[in-house]
Amino acid sequence: MGFGKCKSFTLIELIVVMAVMGLVIGGLLVSLRQIVESENLFKKMQAVEEESRFIMDVFTQDAEYSELKGDYKAADFYKNIAFILTEKKSEIGGSGTAESSYSSSANGSKFYLKRTISGQSSPDESTALTLNNTPLASEPLFLVKELEADEAGNYFITISLTFRVDADGRNILVPIETSVVSRTFEL
């Protein structure tokens, strides 16, 4: 009895098969890397959305139901703004006038929006809260414009923020803006 001929691969066929397998696996790894990078960017953008919603909610409450502290008659941009809290004084506590102010704090070229509430229990006491974890690319800007033909002194207040999202070495700037009309209950 004899053995039949055994079919084997040549070295060239083996190298070609390994090269094709390498290309397929390399393409899959590149696709997987892009999926992971896209997911990381999505999570960062989702954090910006959550932070901006929180900032806009807090700012809208202060701007809508409080009085502006200071002279903001001309339509101009401001780097900080302050409100005299009138509507929810009983919830804040204290019998004096409470104030809410917005300003920015810098850490190098990164900016953070800070809200300070003062005068809750005593005029010297204040509480500060940084409203964002994702840094801003520039200082926040507030546009204040007095409504014309309005004897009650209502204002159109706009807040402009530009978030800086770091996406694998490149910065993506995300502008967010909202406007509020203050109410002095004489509209």
Kindly give the confidence (pLDDT) of every residue in the chain, 187 residues in length, as a single tens digit, with 9 standing for 90 and above.
556 676 788 889 999 999 999 999 999 999 999 999 889 999 999 999 999 999 999 998 888 878 888 777 667 788 889 888 865 544 545 556 788 899 999 888 899 999 998 876 555 678 888 999 999 999 999 998 887 765 667 788 899 999 999 887 788 899 999 888 877 654 3
pTM of the model: 0.73
Sequence spans of domains, the chain = 52-181
Distance CA 134, CA 156 (A): 27
Cα dist from 168 to 19, 93, 110, 136, 165, whole Å? 30, 46, 17, 17, 10
| Backbone phi, psi, residue 97, to 5° | -85, 125
